[in-house]
Chains A and B, each alone.
Chain A
Amino acid sequence: MGSGPDVGAAELAAQQLVDATAWLLGREGRERADRTLTRRGLPHSSMDVDDLCSAALLRLTVRFGNGPIELTHGDDSVRAYATTVLRSLTTRLVDGGARQRLQELVDWSEQVAPAVESDDDRIDDEVAAGDAVDIVRRRALDAIDGRVQAWTVAAGLATVTIAAGEVQVMDGIRVPAREADVARWAGLAYAGRTDCFDEPEDGAVRERRAQALHRVADLLTRLLDPHAAST
């Protein structure tokens, strides 16, 4: 996929995911999940433990898709990381994600410049190829943070759905003549960015739309190739 990670890092990340999964679904991981729930006074039936382990597995899959973790605790690093994920997910159960939202509010900056060089044609090619659509969808929600706002992810999801050639956009959505841009423009509309289509369309509106399109392309590039977004 694209420039991609170096093979060594990708293999290491894949192995770490295998190790983390084995630990999490094994006796020790499930006991840890049970203990984490118990310590917070939360229900900890077998089904509750299953839920927590499933959520942790999903997060680990996304995380290791971005590359390997640092081995700060030697051979125990993967287990320690998985334990941290269990704890953080349990904290979210009792705090509703407030800490993450606070960090997003503090980090938010309108001036954030795209950190990666997006390549619209490449995104189109990869989306048309098929697998990329699921990759984008699987990683999409985790991308929302202080720099990537929800509308960007909403636009990205709509863009890949339309670009994959699966559906027609609603009547009434304004799209450009250039076929290759239809999905991107419609993606903005479905994400509620009505300000990108204000009438009369002056230079400010066009500039706003161009910036919004750039942010969505940047997001898709990051989702398809997380290693390109290390900056």
Chain B
Amino acid sequence: MPRSLSWLIALAALGSTAMVQYNFDTAAADSRIKLFNAVRTSEQVLLPPANVLKLVSLGHPSLAADLVWLQAIQYFGNAGSNATYAALPDYLETVTTLDPKFAYPYQLGTVSLPFMNKADEAIALGEQGIREVPNDGMIAYYLATVYHLNRKDYQRAHEVYLLASEREGAPEAARILAGVVLNAERSSLNDSVVSILFWDNVYKTARSDAEKKIAERWREHMKIVYFLEQAAAKYSTDTGSYPESVETLVTSGYIDAIPKSPNGRLFIADPAKKAILFNKLDPDPYYLP
């Protein structure tokens, strides 16, 4: 075969592969985008067990932990607005099993999981974190807030706030909050006042503008809850029954208008619980500001 013909055949073959590649990309673009999005937003965790990852890391379990951590961040950041973050506890558990002294995943878990209705997982992770990383005050601080705000277990929250205040890195608010929750435990403060004090401390110790903004919104929101609770209590004393709705407080002249929540929530009067509640949002502006 002449040499020039060989070159020609090789070039034609190369051109054909490029053409096939181009056609493949254009023909199946839609289905591939769908597949990509399905994988991206999947709640299924495709993660080998931590022991297997440790085995294949060939003496570098911390590196394996780092790689799963990077994957966890991608999962966290890429999840759609309706995501339940079902796989996040598995990711964080795998990272902390591979490297039990890695502090940041404990912090992320105890902060974020309660907002995904996973307070139990946050507590399990946080309890492991305070055992494994004894010099980290932030893990204890965040864990105490879960006991405090989600579980309303003020006794345990008091213990963990105190623990946080004795460790490095915890905000000064830890010691104050230890006292605050102890008061709550003794019923001298109600939940909304405890929450206002909590968010005020978070606001004062925030490390970033974003964190400050979130804390400020929640503090102001809880002040409105407290204001409505006071009005509802007065209404109950006067009429002998809890208001059917917050609008009742306006129509009966106890308040001028229903204040607007900075978090975009609607306030609900619950006569059965004798409490002012507020609706949950999806997506929640707390972690999707």
Chain A partners chain B: no
Residues of B within 8 A of A (CB): none
Residues of A within 8 A of B (CB): none
